Amino acid sequence: MKHCDRCGVDLSGDLDRCPLCHGTLTGHASPAAFPHERLMRPRRVAATVAALLSWLAVLAMVVLSLADVVPWNITVLVAVLVLVNWLFVRNVLDREPGAVRAIARYLLIMEGCFLVWWLLTGWDVTINILVPATALGAMGFDAVALIVGKSQFVRDYGKYLLFDVVCCVVPWVTKLLGWTTWNTLVWIALYAGAAYLLVLVLFFGNTLRDEARRLFST
């Protein structure tokens, strides 16, 4: 059976992480108490629905482009974003990373997609509004989880906290280099990210350093 050293429980089935604390399990997998097929069927249905909706979204964009309503470069970008979204949903259904980890990853993926969109199109709205707004939303989500989980949350999700701070700084760097114009929301995100990092260093410095060391050493 798989064993969680942190919770001290044994778990049957082929699980990678503990469903209680989401820590890494040790030991060898054993047959699950419930039929695996019964648990997998809803996930397969959800994956099929997600794939169908993704194809419909791409098809709709292609039709709009053929009708000269939407430029083809926008259609290609939307298709890439839809593909990334579908891959993420499929990964969540297959891996079961847990609600907190799934939300944190999804917010980071959104920020990354917005940055790529800006690099390819030069559309300032993505870097002036979408990236800082998403970063602020991610930090708000992390702040609530941090109040509840405290050091344990930093230990388990520290890399997401650091990535969110970086995403708050990226729009400011583009302004500093003169690539885009200044925007109030960018300053708000920058100050919020700096304050957030200061709180993490002051109250969870040792845990954050351990997480950063583990992150950059792998």
Residues 23-50: tens digit of each pLDDT: 778 877 765 554 444 445 666 776 777 7
Span between the terminal Cα atoms of the chain, in Å = 27
* Residues 53 and 139 grouped into a single domain: no
Strand-pair partners of 182:
none
Give just the sign of the alpha carbon dihedral 180, 176, 142, 119: positive
* Residues 153 and 208 grouped into a single domain: yes
CA distance 74 to 83: 14
Q: How many domains does the chain have?
A: 3
Predicted confidence at residue 42, as pLDDT, reads 63
* Residues 106 and 204 grouped into a single domain: yes
* Residues 214 and 125 grouped into a single domain: yes
Q: Domain range holding 51?
A: 40-96
Label residue 217 by pLDDT band (50, 70, 90): low
Predicted confidence at residue 215, as pLDDT, reads 65
Predicted confidence at residue 43, as pLDDT, reads 64
Q: Which of 93-97, 177-181, 191-195 has the highest mean pLDDT?
A: 191-195
* Residues 57 and 27 grouped into a single domain: no
Q: How big, in percent rounded to 5, are the helix, strand and coil portions of the chain?
A: 75, 5, 20
pLDDT tens digits for 57-69? 889 888 988 988 8
CA distance 20 to 210: 22
Q: How far is CA 142 from CA 16, 50, 110, 210, in A?
A: 24, 27, 16, 18
* Residues 111 and 139 grouped into a single domain: yes
Q: Of 96, 111, 131, which closes a domain?
A: 96
* Residues 119 and 215 grouped into a single domain: yes
